[in-house]
């Protein structure tokens, strides 16, 4: 899908489905910001914990610093649970609306469309693809807001502590950009192929269950089972490749972080 098509699709999703839940979306954004900002706040509180309590051994600092850290984790926990509930509510409502509109549109098509598209494929499109769409937008919203706030808060604390070290650790950021883009493009391609295989498996099951009498009369049980297993094996292989590619993104982040720490140690 081209970039322009993706933008139009996202705009349509927002205009027709997400905008009516704007209030809950804003609540989710605030909760995600609290969850993400707690990372920077924790890094800021680590300095008095080590400097005043562990190094200087100031007994009077134990209670305020300890209560601040405990309160921070409590706020993060509550925000994490609340944002999950809010985003799940919005996502499930949007999924139900999209599926209802999709069924209404499919029912308005002529009989030729149903002759060209197997029922199993249509079922997978209505159920599987729409459910994945809900998961994707929730993931993008969570990652885009929570991780961005966490990154900004961490950068703010790092710059306040030592701007030079912050600049050195940022060397690893450009190294991650190009590989991450390549990985994401590969994941999208493999994920599309995986969805096609899943749709074909659903169609195969639909054909088997609707033709079970002829299958038994012609003793074709073993043949149908073999075809189904072959398709399932292909789905397993595609799933492994897709998940392996998805796991490369955090691995690249770890490599960049490791490089940043190494440069800081060399500089220090």
Residue 57 has pLDDT above 80, yes or no: yes
Q: How far apart are CA 85 and CA 52, in angstroms?
A: 38
pLDDT, mean of residues 230-239: 92
**What is the pLDDT confidence band of residue 135, given thresholds at 50, 70 and 90?**
low
Fold category of 1-161 in CATH: ABC transporter transmembrane region fold (1.20.1560)
Question: Which pLDDT belongs to residue 236?
Answer: 93
Per-residue pLDDT tens digits for 237-251: 999 988 888 777 767
C-beta of residue 169 within 8 angstroms of C-beta of residue 260: yes
Count of residues in the chain: 268
C-beta of residue 124 within 8 angstroms of C-beta of residue 202: yes
Q: How far apart are CA 247 and CA 126, in angstroms?
A: 28
Query: What crossing angle do the helices spanning 148-161 and 22-48 adopt, rounded to 10°?
Result: 30
State the pTM of this model.
0.72
**What is the pLDDT confidence band of residue 137, given thresholds at 50, 70 and 90?**
low
What are the residue ranges spanned by the domains of the chain? 1-161, 162-268
Question: Which pLDDT belongs to residue 253?
Answer: 66
In whole numbers, what is the pLDDT of the chain averaged over residues? 82
Give me the percent of the chain exceeding a pLDDT of 70: 84
């Amino acid at each position: 899908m081209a970039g322009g098509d993706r933008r139009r699709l996202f705009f349509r999703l927002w205009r027709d489905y997400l905008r009516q839940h704007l209030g809950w979306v804003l609540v989710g954004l605030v909760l995600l910001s609290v969850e993400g900002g707690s990372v920077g706040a924790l890094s800021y509180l680590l300095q008095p914990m080590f400097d005043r309590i562990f190094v200087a051994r100031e007994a009077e600092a134990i209670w305020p610093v300890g209560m601040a850290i405990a309160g921070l984790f409590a706020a993060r926990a509550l925000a994490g649970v609340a944002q999950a509930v809010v985003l799940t509510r919005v996502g499930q409502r949007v999924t139900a609306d999209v599926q209802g509109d999709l069924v209404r549109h499919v029912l308005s098509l002529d009989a030729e469309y149903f002759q060209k598209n197997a029922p199993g494929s249509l079922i997978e499109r209505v159920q599987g693809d729409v459910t994945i769409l809900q998961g994707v937008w929730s993931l993008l919203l969570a990652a885009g807001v929570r991780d961005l706030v966490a990154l900004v808060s961490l950068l703010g604390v790092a710059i306040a502590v030592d701007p030079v070290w912050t600049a050195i650790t940022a060397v690893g950021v450009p190294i991650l950009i190009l590989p991450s883009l390549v990985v994401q493009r590969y994941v999208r391609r493999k994920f599309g192929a995986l969805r096609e295989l899943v749709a074909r498996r659903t169609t195969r099951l639909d054909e088997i269950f609707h033709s079970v009498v002829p299958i038994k009369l012609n003793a074709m049980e073993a043949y149908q089972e073999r075809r189904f297993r072959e398709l399932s094996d292909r789905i397993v292989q595609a799933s492994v490749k897709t998940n392996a590619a998805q796991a490369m993104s955090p691995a690249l982040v770890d490599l960049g972080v490791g490089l940043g720490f190494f440069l800081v140690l060399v500089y220090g």
